[in-house]
Structure 1
């Protein structure tokens, strides 16, 4: 009897447990179905309203309306409220997507920009591309293209006119700086390939350097080629991979670049989203080129997306030392889906997780603050993860470098000089007056050149925003409201005198920084982007610290990448 009661009791318990589990599953399924039904009803209702709104505008609005433009504005506003990365790309803009993914397009190969007077000019012809070979130079103001007037235009319209079928001729008429008669150039369009490795070279006798500017379907091969050249031909014993300012690109390119330096079969990134198809695990698929060479990866606040996958994966695998500043914090994945009329939608479909399991997404676009802006994920919600060796790392809204090297704070004056048209014209004038200059690493304008530059800036009455003066005005207002103004008048007056705008003084105070900028801009005219990088490297404090670490402190590298003395439990 006792055995029978025991058996019955166990049976009842098992049945009850199974029944409760089934009920819970049914409840969850029911709630999910209710939510799906609600979502479907909302979708049908929204589409009905939207269709009727457009129909009423088309039929009854007082003026004729371009429905396509109105719909495009609505689509852009709708998607813009989700996050900055989700967007609609119509068929006519497909070249931009191709450029982002392949680094290729058919055109003349020139970067253009617009001035406040609505004129568009050549900002920088690409080395060896049609515009460069035809003789167009930076500063040339575009007047007409194939006979069509572009004296007052926009960069998108001019860009569209310069692009075209490879092999066709673009007749470009420009006004060159300092001249009064236009020049016309016949530029033969061809496939333009934008290299994502603009420069690689040796920093000293043993340290190789690769600058990577983006992630396209050719980036991994470019890095591979540069690496073999540095290691096998130039004798590099260690490597600096510079990802600063690299905003990302194709995730697959990031995986392939990681694969160059870690064994086959390693997990690099995992994606997870709402749909089942967004969940995937990506591993290295081929044999690496070198798993031993010491590597330092440079990152900063503009290193994002695929840059963070490369840096974060190499950090999580204890394969490279990260140096610089905290990265941007973009842990989202975009995929494209086909739309009617050959358009596509680039849609955020998942978050990605690097090998330690962390997602480094910084912004929460589902939550908005009082001003309607997305909120930053608070520090209190950050979690600790561990690398393969057991080193603690955080999902800290970005990748934290193993060695932080802070950049020097630039004066506000330098920003305004960098974007000032008169400064651009000064560089153009210098280029036209000098047929050649010295090597990028050693070139510098003279003190006489700088004195002439300062005179020009004063004659042009160069003005720039002075944040300190604005802050002082706010401080005086607050002091007045709070009743401190009478007693603080003397101190505020003295501070006002010290902060009084004085262009001549500021040009003297920041002479070194301004000369560095002018030198770099001038070098770029002669040696293009490659020369610009060469010119900046000798004074780059982050690069110098990376070289010192790789050359002189191998033991420190080993300590950084090794397990802590007491390895935490995972």
Structure 2
């Protein structure tokens, strides 16, 4: 034995064998590490199986095994990050609708429930519901002779769906009518487009609104862009990614490729294992690598959307306008599990062409309360764009041109939540057969007065945050026996807030009119009408048009002249401003 050990010792001391020593040492290290990891996996699976067995056999009440396992799986996944999740068999179809393709057999309408009744809330143009003249506000009474009384929203939705070309008879009651109507339809394949709108918004300025990055989204952007060039002869483009929560990474890469030279690095991903490391390049000749480009972003712009915005910014290919994006720099992959279940797991972080990861929240290092927090300011690192501009990681995509967001008042939230806006839209459509086109339509003063009477007659009231604070003050003051000393001042404050609330329908007339216009227009021109109606109030869009119209400013942004040399240095102040404004409801 000693001879063997001496020989091994000589071998490791030999200079000629030094390179091999390192290799053997590394192999031994990784071998031991792999064994340790395998042991930990086996050990913890045995512990989990033991816990499950003893609970299942000995718990005082009968347990539902599937629910128990589901709860354990969900708790394990959610402890990592919000994007890592277990998908049971029953939820697989919904999962595919949300993350892969939103195609299903149906009629092309959304529903809502109020007062224990089911109503059509939205009708999509060129689908069976619209073709059959089913309207938003129609009450659904039965589907194929099955009464909807007592049915949940999900149960009604399931009844509306079915195979393509299958018959469906829907009994509806239209507001103002005394008798129900039977509507006979053929279900179709319903696939909502990823590009919800494209058109010209200024002097040869194209506009594409991309809502999601599901299957085919890149092709839709391509077709929209080529149509704009052919039909509207556009010489610049606005790509609207506001509220776009992302989707398929490869679709984002294709879209960037339309506007950057072949071979450019678009995004890279890095995981714990080599198999999850990958660099995505622009693999094709672009559609147009020189057209002036603006990308619109806000705090709802996330994931694949940030890949596009980050690549455009880092390659100095266009300007980013709006507010700081969400800050999701994580990549997920879906794995098949036994019994038709799935696991969606975060496998990597992604990095924009400059090398920065824009992930905002650190899920690995949680605070003492188990909560994940933003990456510390001390860890924020600067990077350089292609033209040498300074950008930062850990904070989402900070826009080149910041536009202060507009937030609606509390009265708007109450009117929408209590369906007063929706119900008045139904009432208006009942009384008016047609209106002007969406870009020209304005709510008349008489119509607004009618709306005020409409909600007043229906006893509209709402509670503000100020009311809640006052109620809490009263409760605490009475508990601490100080209320008698402050009651007079309290009553003055309460009276003042009530007076302000009573005046809200007058004070906030402009923004209430805006929301009403949007709802009314949708009853005649559907989703396209909603979008076109919003243009006249859209401050971010107006700023994007301004940037593209002022060629000098656009050039200064891309080359980093003056204030555009450093993007994101003042992002802390911008985040503070956004937090202060978020007390309201964003437009």
TM-score normalized by structure 1?
A: 0.88
Post-superposition CA distance 1:498-532 (Å, at most 9, x none): 32354430000000000100000110111111110
Q: What is the distance in 1 between the residues matched to 2:401 and 2:183?
A: 51
CA distance in 2 between counterparts of 1:43 and 1:526 reads: 60
**Cα offset for 1:91?**
4.2
CA drift at 1:285 = 1.3
Residue of structure 2 equivalent to 1:560: 557
SS for the counterpart of 1:208 is strand
Write out aligned runs for 1:420-459 (5 A): 420-459=418-457
C-alpha displacement of 1:22? 6.5
Rate the CA distance shift 1:378–1:484 in 2: closer, same or farther, 3 A. farther
Q: Tell me what 1:360 maps to.
A: 358
Aligned residue among 225, 234, 237 for 2:235: 237
Question: Aligned equivalents of 1:91 and 1:33: distance in 2?
Answer: 32
Deviates more, 1:407-416 or 1:494-503: 494-503
Give the equivalent residue in structure 2 for 1:40: 41
Matching of residue 107 in structure 1 with residue 106 in structure 2:
yes
Task: Name the CA shift for 1:18/1:375 in 2 (closer, same or farther; >3 Å).
Answer: same
**Aligned pairs (5 A) from 1:256-405:** 256-369=254-367, 371-405=369-403
Distance of 1:482 and 1:13 partners within structure 2: 82
CA distance 1:486–1:149, shift in 2 (3 Å):
closer
Q: Cα gap change, 1:165/1:89 in structure 2, threshold over 3 Å: closer, same or farther?
A: farther
CA RMSD of aligned residues (A): 3.1
| Cα pair 1:76 1:88 within 8 Å, conserved | yes
> How far, CA to CA, are the matches of 1:151 and 1:81 in structure 2?
40
Cα displacement (A) at 1:319: 0.4
Change (3 A) 1:137 1:50: farther
- 1:66 deviates by 4.5
> In the alignment, is residue 171 of structure 1 matched against residue 169 of structure 2?
yes
SS in 2 for 1:138: coil
Change (3 A) 1:467 1:16: farther
Indicate if the aligned counterparts of 2:421 and 2:519 stay in contact, CA closer than 8 A: no
Change (3 A) 1:445 1:148: same
Q: Deviations over 1:424-457 (max 9, x none)?
A: 1111111121111111012122222211211222
1:194-222 Cα deviation digits (max 9, x unpaired): 11111111112221111111112211111
The 3-state SS of whatever aligns with 1:209 is: strand
Q: Is the CA contact 2:56–2:65 (under 8 Å) kept in the aligned structure 1?
A: no
Q: Which deviates the most, 143-152 or 268-277? A: 143-152
Q: Matched residue of 1:425: which SS?
A: helix
2:534 equivalent to 1:524: no
Work out whether residues 70 and 88 of structure 2, in 8 Å CA contact, stay in contact via their aligned partners in 1: no
Contact 2:87 2:341 in 1 (8 A): yes
Describe the shift of the 1:30–1:408 C-alpha distance in structure 2 as closer, same or farther (beyond 3 A).
same
Post-superposition Cα deviations, 1:367-425, rounded to whole Å, max 9, x if no partner, equal 44455433222222211111111111111321100010011232111122222223311
Query: Would you say how many aligned residue pairs link Structure 1 and Structure 2?
Result: 553
Q: Distance in 2 between matches of 1:495 and 1:85?
A: 45
Partner residue, 2:8: none
CA shift in 2, pair 1:368/1:112, >3 Å = farther
Contact 1:105 1:192 in 2 (8 A): yes
| Whole-Å separation in 1 of the counterparts to 2:28 and 2:473 | 60
CA spacing shift, 1:159–1:277, aligned 2, 3 Å: farther
SS state of the match for residue 198, structure 1? strand
- Relative distance call for 1:547 and 1:289 in structure 2 (3 A) is same
Q: How many Å separate the matches in 1 of 2:554 and 2:26?
A: 52
2:133 aligned partner: 135
Q: Label 1:15 to 1:414 Cα distance change in 2 as closer, same or farther (>3 A).
A: farther
- In 1, Cα distance between equivalents of 2:358 and 2:32: 31
Per the alignment, residue 548 of structure 2 pairs with 550
**CA 1:510–1:177: 2 relative to 1, 3 Å:** same
Kindly tell me: are residues 482 and 33 of structure 1, through their superposed partners in 2, closer, same or farther at Cα, counting changes over 3 Å? same
Over 3 Å counting, the alpha-carbon distance change for 1:301 and 1:562 in structure 2 is same
Q: 1:487 to 1:162 in 2, by over 3 A?
A: closer
Tell which deviates more after alignment, 478-487 or 557-566: 478-487
Q: Bigger shift: 496-505 or 555-564?
A: 496-505
Counterpart CA distance in 2 for 1:463 and 1:371 is 38
User: Which of 245-254 and 342-351 deviates more?
Assistant: 342-351
User: Per the alignment, in what secondary structure is the counterpart of residue 536 of structure 2?
Assistant: helix
CA distance in 1, matches of 2:219, 2:182: 38
Alignment of 1:70-219 (within 5 A): 70-100=68-98, 101-115=100-114, 117-219=115-217
The CA deviation string for residues 148-189 of structure 1, in whole angstroms up to 9 with x for no partner, is 332223232222222211111122223333444333222211
Contiguous gaps of at least 5 residues in structure 2 = 1-11, 567-587
Farther-moved stretch of structure 1 (476-485 vs 284-293): 476-485
